Every structure is written in C-alpha cells, then in structure tokens.
Structure 1
Amino acid sequence: MIRKAKAVWHGTGRDGSGNLSTDSGVLGGTPYSFKTRFENEKGTNPEELIAAAHAGCFTMALAFGMQLAGLNPTELETEAAVTLEPEGQGFRISKSALTLRAKVPNLDEAKFAELAKGAEKNCPVSKVLNAEITLDAKLV
C-alpha cells in the first residue's frame, strides 16, 4: 500500500507560500506558508498534519485492539499535540502528546490501560516518529 501527497512551494522560506495535495483529494491545493506554520494564518502545516495522522492512526489501532478483545467502544476521542522546537539551525518535532477519552462498556481500567498502551506503541505513525510519545488515557 502506498499513499501519496504533493507539496508545491513558490518563493523563499519566510516570504514564499505553497500548497499541499493528496491523491485522495481530501487536501487539494491546501495553502501552507511560514505564517500558517509559525503564526496563526488560516491554512495548514506539516505538524498539524502529523498530529492528525497520529491521532487517527492511534485511535484506529485502539479500535482494532478492542475488537480483538471482544469489546465494542461507544466512542474513542483522541487529540494529538505535536511539539515543534528549535534545534541547531532548524527545528525538530520533539513530542507527540496523545490525550484519549474513551467510552467503552464493560471495560476495566487495567485492560483499558493495556490496550491503549499497545495501540500507542504499535500504530504505524508512532513507529515512524522520532519523538517522545506520551499518552493520557481515561475512561469516561
């Protein structure tokens, strides 16, 4: 399975701008720039997309883990907060903090913690990130 995305950029790093597109069409010429990345201009940025990918990957991995355990979650809600910090002349993604709130009938805290930790360790996006990953998981 291969998934593709394309970035097109015009101009310098600070003053230029670009757009991102995916083969699926979900992103189609979506703008990104210095201001969407480092300020609050409307558009997206690589870190936001990594956060979305990590939240989605982790949550789906957990749903599959729960299915294998015979559980049927009512709702799994995950937020991923990706930290970008200076490093040398550039930047690095240093952390992805996952916050999970789950509604799962007939699930005890110990099994919940085991399943959540397994999903955090085994989702493909967690495996590719060279960053600290934290998990705050609570049954609600």
Structure 2
Amino acid sequence: MASITRKATAHWEGDLKSGQGRLDTPQSGLMAGTRYGFNTRFGAEKGTNPEELIAAAHAGCFTMALSAKLTEAGHPPQSLDTQAEVELGMEGGPTIVEIRLKTQARVAGLDAAKFRALADDAKQNCPVSKALSAVPISLDAELVE
C-alpha cells in the first residue's frame, strides 16, 4: 500500500500573547476554522490548542490499534473508550512532559492479563505513540462489564 498523507493548516496573526490563529483540517472539516491562541493554550479561554489536538490524535490512534489487536486475538471489542491527557510543563519553557492514556474496554471472553498485554502492545505500536516516543506515555487499561 502506498503511503497516506493527511494535512492540517494553521494561520496566525499578531504577536504571541495578543495574536490569534485558526486551525483547519480540510479533509474532514473537524476543525473548520477553530480558533486558537495564547489564552486557549495557557489560559481558560474557549478554543483549542496543540496539546489538545495531540491528545485527540493519540486517543483515536491508540483506540483503533487496540481494536485491531483485540480483533486479531479473536476478541473483537464491544466498546472502547479512551481518554488521553497531554501534560504541558512550564519549567524551562513549555514542554510536553507526559502523556497519560486511560482506556476502558468491554470485551467478552478475555482475561485481564491478556487484555493488558494487548493494550500495552497497542500503546507501543500505534503510529502516534511511535511519533511521540520521546515523551513518557503511561497507560491505565481496564476491562469493564
């Protein structure tokens, strides 16, 4: 299979603190001109920021990878719910210091140890985890009934 390219665009006007920008994902329209700026990143103003988008990408990628691993093992999931938290540390300048994945899975006929092994494999091998491998990534994986 040939490689697949996905793209997003960012537009910015003004200085760092008073300026603002727009993010677009032309193929999906997911962002559709979503505003971002200093106060959406470092404050509580409504809008998005790069860390939130990384979290969304990681949650989605990991969840798809886990679904694939479970299905390959003969246990297709009934449901998977994943939250990703990207922590932006401020010491020495803004730096992503940790990513925490938390997933809950409804999977019939699978024991906790096998589930954990498959979840760890998905965490290590999803493309976004690989791209972010310079950052510590933790995983809390739970089977629920």
For the superposition of Structure 1 and Structure 2, which TM-score range results when normalised by the shorter chain?
over 0.9
Structure 1 residue ranges without an equivalent (≥5):
none
Indicate yes or no: 2:66 matched with 1:59: no
Indicate yes or no: 2:126 matched with 1:126: no
Choose between structure 1 and 2: higher strand proportion: 1
Matches within 5 A, 1:39-50: 39-50=43-54
- Among 113, 116, 124, the alignment partner of 1:113 is 116
Matches within 5 A, 1:1-140: 1-24=4-27, 25-88=29-92, 90-129=93-132, 130-140=134-144
**CA shift for structure 1 position 27:** 1.3
Contact 1:3–1:23 (Cα < 8 Å) also in 2: no
Give the TM-score taking structure 2 as reference length: 0.93
Structure 2 residue ranges without an equivalent (≥5):
none
**CA shift for structure 1 position 23:** 2.1
Give the TM-score taking structure 1 as reference length: 0.96
C-alpha separation in 2, matches of 1:18 and 1:93 = 21
C-alpha separation in 2, matches of 1:38 and 1:114 = 36
- SS state of the match for residue 72, structure 1? coil
- SS state of the match for residue 137, structure 1? strand
**CA shift for structure 1 position 26:** 1.5
- SS state of the match for residue 46, structure 2? coil
Q: Deviations over 1:66-122 (max 9, x none)?
A: 11111121111100010001243x311111100011110000011101100000000
C-alpha separation in 2, matches of 1:139 and 1:133 = 20
**What is the number of equivalent residue pairs in this alignment?**
139
